[in-house]
Structure 1
Amino acid sequence: MSMFLFLPIPAMEVIGLVGLVSAIFLGLVAVWYVRSSPKPLPIVGNLFDMPSEYPWLVYDQWFKTYGDIIHINVLGQPIIILGSLKRTSDIFDKRSSSYSDRVRMPMINELMGWDFSFGFMRYGSRWKQHRRMFNSNFNPAASAEYKPAHIKEARALLGRLLVDGQGFMHHLRHTFVATIMRAVYDIDVAESDDLYISTAEAALAGLAIAGNPGAFLVDLIPFLKYVPTWVPGAGFQKLAAHWKRLTSQLVEIPFQVVKGRMNEGTARPCATVRMLENLPEDNYSEYEVVAKNCAAAAYGGGADTIVSSAQTFFFAMAKYPEVQKRAQAELDAIVGCDRLPDFDDRPSLPYVNAIVKETMRWQNVTPLGISHTCTQDDTYDGYFIPKGSIIIGNTWSIMHDPKAYPEPDEFKPERFIKDGVLDPTVRDPNVAAFGFGRRICPGRYFSDNSLYSIVCSVLSVYDITPASDEKGELKLEMTSGLISYPRPFDVSITPRSDAARSFIIEPPNSSGN
């Protein structure tokens, strides 16, 4: 999702003459030959067409009118929105050498300090350096080493739900922060008032706000980053300074804990230790920064994006009891009643795996992902795409394509099942859920394992039903922004049986594999 393209109408009153001058200065820098698109106005282009909330839903409607590739122009900036898997595959995969760059993000990167994360970095040698190191510690083989951490924290979640089921949304965030902290830093988080959880929540809340389309004018007019804090209208500078302190804590504090342990000889195996032990002697200090950044990127990503999917899963189980019952029947048949499920059971649990896939598909964590930009003029399918155009892949439209997923608004894990096994002919949500092309999220294997461990563990011992005081039909409302979360909702979480309750209180020993 672009961080600087969408400007809500109230903000125009602030820009005034500055906005007009900037628009003229930028000019209409590109020529685009299109068959159909929303009609632009002189100078400002499609500025007033841009949605300030839930843009993925607006774009999805546009695709129905204009087709699956749309061009718009905002103050001279060409924007191309892709609405099908064919378009994103053609552009981001087959032409990845030209479409793997990121747009400039002044608020997030330059003012808030998120330039440490390779997810927001411009394409180039620095990005490749970070991506390579991260991938070596979170590829499928490396991610398998963290399975015991997933199982341990998933079972700790079961205990928290027994004590306070109403706090399940917070418990889920606690679980994922605890899992990533154990895997990346070998740090145990506290049950309450934990520094690492509070830091992650605050820093990521700032990121979510700054990622909202049109949230800050500095993303549209980058030179505003130099405006002093005392200038009227420069309140964003104070916010940015506050969020930058939080970002710095997220990056530095746990990393320094690990370095201190290594110096003392007390460090245990974790991703950060492995990265530091394998740094090249040449340019050690440079690569140490890369290791620190990669660890923080895992910390931020693992503590945030998968939380949304897990919360969505809880809603879906309350909303679709027949899905829950079918999954529990599968777990009872495969796992039995004398232990809890683990990763060894996963190949034998196709319906549970289908729930994981459907959860990722049904409500996308990042419905627009993060925008790409092209690095050279290009021609595609009769369209001219100028250098510097911003390219948006609408994940929502791909995951709600009725041809690939009949009744896309319904939660139907059985769509992925045929003859009792996962159907390989059904589109895997991973083709879009984690981004596109060379910028696809390398932490997707870790995230998948996280969600599986929660789904199988919770369903094995708990029933999730609508809250007793819930009036009317359950309705899921998602937030708008870079990351989309379910808005708070109430469900009832109760042990399935006395045996299940005993497992929650004292989980049987398990390898966690």
Structure 2
Amino acid sequence: MASFPILGCLIVAPLALWWFANRGRNDKINPLGLPLPPGPKPYPIIQNLLDVPLHKSWLVYSEWFKIYGDMVYLRVLGRDILVLRDLKTTNDLLEKRSHNYSDRPPLPMLNDHMGWNFAVASMHYGSLWRRHRRLLHDHFNAGVIKKYRPVQISVARILIRNLLESPSEDSDFSDQIRFTFAAIMMKITYGITVKDKDDEYISCAEEALKGLGEAATPGRFLVDIFPIMKWIPSWIPGAGWKRKAEYWAIINTKIINEPFEWVKKQINEGCAVPSICSRLIEELPEEGSLEEEKIVRDVCAITYLGGADTTVSVILSFFLAMCLHPEVQKKAQAELDSVLHGRLPEFTDYPFLPYIQAIAKETLRWNPVAPIAFGHVASEADEYNGYYIPKGTFVLGSGNHARSLSLPKSKLLHPERYLNNNNNNKIDPTIRDPSIAVFGYGRRICPGRFFVHESLFIVIVHILAVFDIKPGVDEDGNEVEVKPNYVTTGVLQYPAPFSCRIIPRSTQAEELIRNSDSVG
């Protein structure tokens, strides 16, 4: 009798797999008789389940592109997946046909179990998404972001003071970077001043985004393929995914509710600090619905999370790039010295610093924070370049398109690619900006992209104006080799820890840093 459950599983499991593999088959009928895009040959029943890469998937996709071309198709237990290589193909589908490619796939682990359904990035396309998106656009479009500049300058100057007080050779300087951007976003979003890098709001953001990186990877968790697994109790052996989800759900609940309730309390007491959250709460109608308040709460949470950590990867890449390319650093500092003449930078210096602008663009392009973009879904069947794209296909546009925007030297840090040598080294408007591949596509493009650009600029100019960035040294005083290695949480990547010396350029620069608290 004890063998009956095992026998039952042996019978039921293949039938379940067969059902998943063939579900929706009627929806996949190809009325034009066109071929599907090429891809790895599927196995019986499980199809391409074993082919789906779970770690640094973009590297596997790069190898597939060499074999199959610009579009690679997989089918995993009834789900269609299409991976796009080049910018033209991605633009043709996700931009020009955005009406058909603006939805998101079902994300049971991320949305249902971890509570990320508050995030506009993972919501299904529709009226609720548009309401969230409209609020984000209202506060981060190109015409309004100037109002955040005083906070951005203030926090950039806090950063250079913190870097000065840290050991000159500090492999943990990344903590200061994370603190800086978390502080910017917490102040702008909620009016809350975080005191140090151990603040609970900062640690919660890091944990939440770690969970996002893992759960947004297609195929990482089986519950995304077999939603029926949601009924499995968390205490059963093998249900570790559910215990992870419960932990991350608690983190997300804290991020969504606690700072929001703090602002509401401050408003009721008449002492609220001006912030996005306080303005949105005050704009709610007196008899507003709970749904309207929830939308405001959700928008504030994703505003904070969106800027608190992902930009950190870009700044850490900047430090890594300066260690690897001292010639770029020296050229940038020469430009800064010719403009600043011994003072700290301001946003008004932007037009006179084209090489710094180029470094910011190149840092975005060099090692994109999201090498594989968040997936889109084909709402209806489509045809492209003679291939059939079934309804419901999960479409991935690679963030690594940024790498191929400006050749040659695509793998090297080369800011000069954006400059026009025939026009006094000004930014060349004919060179495609890497932002078109870094911040997403179509109606799903990141609403905070203009704010990110300004944050990158003001942090980079402050650091280069007063510091030299060099590789660390060993116990014999010899510089250690710095390698451009990256680690990944799933869909996001960060430079692996590396030894770095952050040294004031001169005694005058050190004095400028110490006095920066009285400026700006």
Paired amino acid for 1:270:
S
Give the Cα–Cα distance (whole angstroms) in 2 for the partners of residues 62 and 404 of structure 1: 22
- For the pair 1:310 / 2:315, whether they are aligned, the reply is yes
Residue identity opposite 2:272 in structure 1:
A
Would the aligned equivalents of 1:23 and 1:44 in 2 still touch at CA under 8 Å?
Answer: yes
Aligned equivalent of 1:433: 438
Alignment partner of 1:270 out of 275, 279, 287: 275
Give the residue type in structure 2 aligned to 1:430: S
Amino acid at match of 1:366: A
Q: Secondary structure at the match of 2:144?
A: helix
1:509 deviates by 4.9
| C-alpha distance after superposition, 1:61-88 (max 9, x if no partner) | 2222221122121222111111111111
Look up the match of 1:501.
510
Q: Which deviates further from its counterpart, 411-420 or 48-57?
A: 48-57
- Are the equivalent residues in 1 in contact too, given 2:21–2:46 (CA < 8 A)? no
Matched to 1:326, the amino acid is K
The yes-or-no answer on 1:330 pairing with 2:335 is yes
- Is structure 2 residue 190 aligned with structure 1 residue 196? no
Distance 1:47 1:130 in 2: 35
- The alpha carbon displacement at 1:114 in A equals 0.8
Read off the aligned partner of 1:27 and give its amino acid letter: A
State the SS of the aligned residue for 1:242: helix
Distance 1:155 1:508 in 2: 7
In structure 2, relative to structure 1, the CA distance for the partners of 1:18 and 1:134 (3 Å cut) is farther
Distance (whole Å) between structure 1 residues aligned to residue 354 and residue 10 of structure 2:
58
Q: Distance in 2 between matches of 1:309 and 1:35?
A: 34
Question: 1:400·1:409 contact (CA, 8 Å) conserved in 2?
Answer: yes
The answer to whether the aligner puts 1:79 opposite 2:88 as a matched pair is no
SS at match of 1:297: helix
Unpaired runs of 5+ in structure 1?
A: 1-14
Are 1:353 and 1:452, in contact at CA under 8 Å, matched by a contact in 2?
yes
Measure how far apart 1:194 and its partner are: 1.1
2:172 matches 1:172 = no
Q: How far apart, in 2, do the equivalents of 1:170 and 1:139 lie?
A: 29
> Which one-letter code corresponds to 1:329 in the other structure?
A
Residue equivalent to 1:119: 121
Letter in 2 for 1:400: R
Question: What RMSD in Å do the two structures reach over aligned CA positions?
Answer: 1.9
Conserved 8 A contact 1:36-1:70: yes
State the TM-score, normalizing by the size of structure 1: 0.92
Displacement of 1:405 in angstroms is 2.6
Q: In the alignment, is the contact (CA less than 8 A) between 2:311 and 2:452 conserved in 1?
A: yes
Asked whether 1:45 is paired with 2:47, we answer: yes
CA distance in 1, matches of 2:51, 2:71: 16
CA contact (8 A) 1:53 1:213 kept: no
Taking structure 1 as reference, are residues 220 and 17 closer, same or farther at Cα in structure 2, changes over 3 Å only? farther
Work out whether residues 132 and 295 of structure 2, in 8 Å CA contact, stay in contact via their aligned partners in 1: yes
Q: How many residues align?
A: 494
Structure-2 residue corresponding to 1:27: 21
- AA aligned opposite 1:505: R
In structure 1, what is the equivalent of residue 451 of structure 2?
446
CA distance 1:200–1:19, shift in 2 (3 Å): farther
Superposition deviation, residue 100 in structure 1:
0.3
What SS does the aligned partner of 1:424 have? coil
TM-score, length of structure 2 as denominator length:
0.91
Q: Is 1:344 aligned to residue 338 of structure 2?
A: no
Aligned to 1:12: none
Gaps of 5+ in 2: 1-8
- Partner residue, 1:388: 392
CA shift in 2, pair 1:296/1:18, >3 Å: farther
- Within 5 Å, which residues of 2 pair with 1:336-375? 336-337=341-342, 339-375=343-379
Structure 1 residues 25-49: Cα deviation after superposition (integer angstroms, max 9, x where no partner): 1234336714632222222222222
| 1:89-488 matched pairs, under 5 angstroms | 89-165=91-167, 166=170, 167-280=172-285, 283-337=288-342, 339-396=343-400, 398-401=401-404, 404-419=406-421, 420-469=425-474, 473-480=481-488, 481-488=490-497
Worse-matched range after superposition: 186-195 or 206-215: 206-215
Q: 1:20 to 1:151 in 2, by over 3 A?
A: farther
2:470 is the counterpart of 1:489: no
* Aligned-partner SS, 1:140: coil
1:426-469 per-position Cα deviation (integer Å, ceiling 9, x unaligned): 11111110111000010111111111111000000000001012
User: By how many angstroms is 1:508 displaced?
Assistant: 6.9
